[in-house]
């Protein structure tokens, strides 16, 4: 009896392991591509992993030691690229998976980067600004040897922002003895940031939704939208969808969600969120703290834009949306994704839908290296051009192989990286 339950628990844990989820997508695509065993091995493993233990002097005079990771999954197509997150939940498997997803994401939109990711195990909400700065600078110094404009270009992620990037850029520049703006993206405009960067991921979600709607024959005005998450991706994505004529019926933050079947006034919602730092108390919508129930609301379009492992085998049968556009990384487990595909639900996968952020990060890196900066109109129009093209290529690939969009995206991106690997060969 006990051994059976242990097996069930193990299988359950496997479903929630983001690295195994990523690996499943990789293996399926590799099978379709007929990738030879050696190429599979090379592309499924990270190039380099660095784990550092970072001492930080806290405000109370004590020294704490924080563990940080930086994983460079692949640099065949260019420098590795990916965010740095500060969270108590950071673990090496998660960072590996996110680094690999970045490789496939950059390849899907044909941006000349490989994938990287970083994370520090800490709770920034319990730390002062001074403590966060000291942690950031010491972590940067610890990973200094493997980052750089031509090596590995970090960016903001969960619980990090443009201020964090400014500290990293300054620390790196001090060691290089010159101002090196291209070492990170997602910086403040005043030190080499790009216009349009803040809303880039949300804009990519909106463009993906527009393209997917054409594919399944829906119009924005007939589309009820449920958005999980109210940050840069969820909040700004919902605002952009609202402007396009979609009816946003629900949005959530980390505490709960609001719902109004007639549609939410998104500018008013975001104003309320800025002032109160919570959706609770928003006039003109019902409020609930049962976050899991939000995903099961009646809607045509569901945008999970919070964190990974939100749509799982536990709730997938209760998901009512016809279309899911993944704003977060890995919000749907591999097993749930298969179930949705069998039911005929269209899923625009994370490596395509949220690639707007890395695309404009690439624009920022290019502008920093040129020392010449573009208008927001140019940034947005170039982003749209790349995202529409990528969506069309993913759709064509999925139709050619007779697979869903997620598998099509993996086949397209892995095929591109594999062809570069074959061209470059093995140096020995």
Is the confidence at residue 194, as pLDDT, over 60? Answer: yes
Distance CA 117, CA 100 (A): 8
pLDDT, average across residues 254-268: 95
Strand-by-strand arrangement of the 301-304 sheet: 286-288, 257-259, 247-252, 224-228, 301-304, 323-325, 346-348
Confidence band, pLDDT 50/70/90 cuts, at residue 222? very high
pLDDT, average across residues 23-44: 92
| CATH among 1.25.10.10, 3.90.105.10, 3.40.50.150, 3.40.50.10860 for 46-177 | 3.40.50.10860
Taking only the tens place, the pLDDT of each residue in 76-122 is 999 999 999 999 999 998 899 889 999 999 999 999 999 999 999 99
Taking only the tens place, the pLDDT of each residue in 54-67 is 999 999 999 999 99
Domain with CATH 3.40.50.720 in the chain: 200-353
Give burial (CB, 10 Å; 0-12/13-18/19+) of 361.
buried
Residues facing residue 347 across a β-bridge: 324
What is this structure's pTM? Answer: 0.92
| Integer-rounded Cα radius of gyration of the chain | 21
Distance CA 324, CA 49 (A): 33
Domain with CATH 3.40.50.10860 in the chain: 46-177
Enzyme catalytic residues: 117
Taking only the tens place, the pLDDT of each residue in 286-316 is 999 988 899 999 999 999 999 889 999 999 9
Q: Which CATH architecture has domain 200-353?
A: 3-Layer(aba) Sandwich (3.40)
Distance CA 346, CA 333 (A): 15
Encoded tokens for 70: 């930086």
Q: Which of 162, 328, 318 is nearest to 231 (CA)?
A: 328
**Structure-model confidence comparison of residues 378 and 14, the more confident one:** 378
Q: Which of 403, 338, 415, 330 is nearest to 30 (CA)?
A: 415
Taking only the tens place, the pLDDT of each residue in 356-379 is 999 999 999 999 999 999 999 999
């Amino acid at each position: 009896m006990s051994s059976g339950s242990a097996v069930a628990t193990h299988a359950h844990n496997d479903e929630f392991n983001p690295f195994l989820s990523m690996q499943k997508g990789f293996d399926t695509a590799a099978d379709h591509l007929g990738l030879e065993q050696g190429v599979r091995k090379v592309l499924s493993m990270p190039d380099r992993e660095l784990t550092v233990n970072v001492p930080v002097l806290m405000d109370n005079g004590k020294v704490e030691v924080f563990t940080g990771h930086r994983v460079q999954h692949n640099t065949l197509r260019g420098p590795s690229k990916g965010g740095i997150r500060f969270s108590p939940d950071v673990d090496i498997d998660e960072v590996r998976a996110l680094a690999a997803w970045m490789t496939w994401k950059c390849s899907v939109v044909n941006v000349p980067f490989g994938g990287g990711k970083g994370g520090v195990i800490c709770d920034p909400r319990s730390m002062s600004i001074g403590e966060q700065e000291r942690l950031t600078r010491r972590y940067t110094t610890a990973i200094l040897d493997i980052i750089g404009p031509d090596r590995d270009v970090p960016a903001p992620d969960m619980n990090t922002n443009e201020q964090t990037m400014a500290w990293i850029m300054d620390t790196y520049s001090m060691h290089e003895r010159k101002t090196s703006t291209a070492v990170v993206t997602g910086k403040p405009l005043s030190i080499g940031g790009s216009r349009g960067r803040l809303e880039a991921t949300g804009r990519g979600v909106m463009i993906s939704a527009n393209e997917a709607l054409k594919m399944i024959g829906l119009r924005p005005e007939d589309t009820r939208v449920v958005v999980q998450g109210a940050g840069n991706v969820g909040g700004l994505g919902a605002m952009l969808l609202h402007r396009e004529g979609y009816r946003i019926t629900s949005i959530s933050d980390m505490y709960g969600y609001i719902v109004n079947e007639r549609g939410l006034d998104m500018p008013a919602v975001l104003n309320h969120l800025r002032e109160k730092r919570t959706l609770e108390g928003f006039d003109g919508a019902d409020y609930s703290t049962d976050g899991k129930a939000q995903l099961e609301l009646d809607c045509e379009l569901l945008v999970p834009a919070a964190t990974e492992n939100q749509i799982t085998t536990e709730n997938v049968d209760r998901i009512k949306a016809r279309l899911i556009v993944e704003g977060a990384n890995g919000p749907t487990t591999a097993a749930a994704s298969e179930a949705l595909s069998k039911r005929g639900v269209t899923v625009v996968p994370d490596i395509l839908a949220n690639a707007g952020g890395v695309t404009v990060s690439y624009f920022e890196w290019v502008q920093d290296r040129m020392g010449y900066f573009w208008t927001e109109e140019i940034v947005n129009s170039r982003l749209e051009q790349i995202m529409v093209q990528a969506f069309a290529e993913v759709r064509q690939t999925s139709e050619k192989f007779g697979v869903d969009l997620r598998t099509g995206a993996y086949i397209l991106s892995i095929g591109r990286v594999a062809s570069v690997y074959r061209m470059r060969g093995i140096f020995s």
